[in-house]
Amino acid sequence: MSTLLALALLAATPPAWSYDVSPSNDLSELAVEASFTSASRLETDGAAAPFVRDVQKVDGDKATPLKGTGPWELPGCARGCRVRYKFQLRAAASRLNDPDEVTAYGAVLESSPGAWLLRPTGDPPADARYRLRVRSREGVRFVTGLPSTGDLDTWEGPADRISMSPYSALGPLKVTTRSACAQEIQVAIAPGRRNVSDEELLEWATTGARQVCDYLGKFPVPGALILLVPGDRGFGKTLGGGGATTLFGIPSDADSDDLQGSWVLVHELTHTALPALAYRHHWMEEGLATYLEPVVRARAGALPPEKVWGDLVEGLPKGELRAGEDGLDDAPRWGPTYWGGALFWLKLDLEIRRHTKGERSLREALRAVNAQGGTISVGWPVEKVLAALDKGAGFAVAEPLYRAMATRRSRTNLEALWKALGVRAESDGAEFDDAAPEAALRRAVTSRTPP
């Protein structure tokens, strides 16, 4: 769907909920006016509820206070009404100090808007959307991974994803729009003490996004936000919920070499290529990023293949299941989540290449998912993901592999796999045996040329 068509559809569909947000001069408080087509009670994220103040139902010039600290009963709103309230943003950032709720990075306040957007309790109507306007002023920007409506300072998202809406931020941000494979992305840089310039950060972030979109054909989520903030340690987090934001912490002592050598940004950006899944399938999301990040970087020439395969040899045994764990869906530990998941995607990639004699790979399978609208911005059942992967592969491969690894205990003979691929572990990576039976298959995975 083109950007212009998407904007036209948004404009033609009135939102079920709308919010007009005015930050105070010192960003300590948000004044919110909300409209709902119908509601009986209002709620917000539990941790953020104590910072909601002065909730009022508005009828013309009359404002009626709503009692309690949440959820708030809202009588007489079956056919629509307006509500006003305030949210103590800076106090919430200080006390919660949680990027998934509200936190501060220097002068910039970051949150998921779901923390401070009151909404009706219960499930919203199918396909219902919400519209968010945050009024900006000179020196203060609001940024979000939600798609823009095309109107100034206005964004829109699916109502059923509001509680996990993309990371957003408010403050003295430097915001630049860049192109990644013909898709626009945003890069927002918060002020802070560091050893790299804003220009270096912008180029590094853009390069990471382009590496991902070069593999996938296009960046999965147009208008996605890369939000760079000060961080005592490097960290990365990605959140969808109707759009996509990757939040990345830049340590003050990091230099250009540290950034170029970091795997975290590309790992996080690869998360945009898969829909959000139920928690028991989280290993598919983290496993994809664990497997695909080094492959993407190797194909871009940013990582030697010896490093990619050496890390797989070292890491994959950490994904083995323990007694009593009946498949990856039943093993929500770190090892199976990241490395057991990575093995699933490696085996899927190899099997697609074998079956199609190199004409297709995991890349084509993921592109089929994205072509059907499957990205981090939406939630899908695992069955839909598997069907889309199989369509991209051209044969049934993802679904049977999932059944073998996710729902029952299985063990892969890694030693035999490495021998067939011609991979021998060394202290600084791996050595290759190009006479091995599937050496060509191994070369194709990390080759800088298309398979």
Average of per-residue pLDDT across 396-418: 96
Quick one: pLDDT at residue 427? 82
- Extract the tokens encoding 282: 């989280």
Residue 213, both tokens: 């979109």
pLDDT band at 13 (very low <50, low <70, confident <90, very high): low
Q: Examine residue 71 and say whether the peptide bond preceding it is cis (omega within 30 degrees of 0).
A: yes
Place of tokens 């993309």: 166
Architecture of the domain delimited by 173-273: Orthogonal Bundle (1.10)
| CA–CA dist 365, 254 (Å, integer) | 36
**Which pLDDT value is given to residue 72?**
96
What band does 5 get if pLDDT is binned at 50, 70 and 90? very low
For residue 420, give every residue at least 6 positions away whose Cβ sits within 8 Å of its Cβ, in sequence order, or none. 436, 437, 438
Residues 40-65: what's their mean pLDDT?
94
pLDDT tens-digit map of 185-199: 999 999 999 999 999
Amino acid found at 18: S
Range 293-311 average pLDDT: 96
Please list the residues that pair with 140 across neighbouring strands: 137
What is the predicted pLDDT for the residue at 7?
Answer: 43
Confidence of residue 449 (pLDDT cuts 50, 70, 90): low
The predicted pLDDT at position 214 comes to 95
> pLDDT by residue (tens digit) across 114-127?
999 999 999 998 89
Does 426 score more than 80 pLDDT? yes
Cα angle value 190/196/201 (rounded, 5°): 60
State residue 268's pLDDT score.
98
* CA-based nearest residue to 132, from 21, 243, 13: 21
Among the residue ranges 203-212, 370-379, 388-397, 426-435, the one predicted with the least confidence is: 426-435
CA 167 to chain CA mean position, Å: 9
CA dist 423 and 306 (Å) reads: 9
Beta bridge partners of 143: 169
Q: Tell me the mean pLDDT in the region 386-408.
A: 97
Confidence check: pLDDT of 130 > 80: yes
Q: Is the predicted pLDDT of residue 1 greater than 60, yes or no?
A: no
Which string of DSSP letters, residue by residue, matches 70-96? SSEE-TT-TT-EEEEEEE-HHHHHHHH
343-361 average pLDDT score? 98
Cross-strand bridge partners of residue 180? 183
Domain assignments of the chain as residue spans, ordered by start: 1-132, 173-273, 279-446
Q: How far apart are the first and last CA of the chain?
A: 27
- Residues of the chain above pLDDT 70, percent: 96
Indicate if the pLDDT at residue 400 is higher than 80.
yes
Q: What's residue 11's pLDDT?
A: 47
**Counting beta carbons within 10 angstroms of the beta carbon of residue 379, is it exposed (0 to 12), middle (13 to 18) or buried (19 or more)?**
middle
Mean pLDDT over 416-436 rounds to: 94
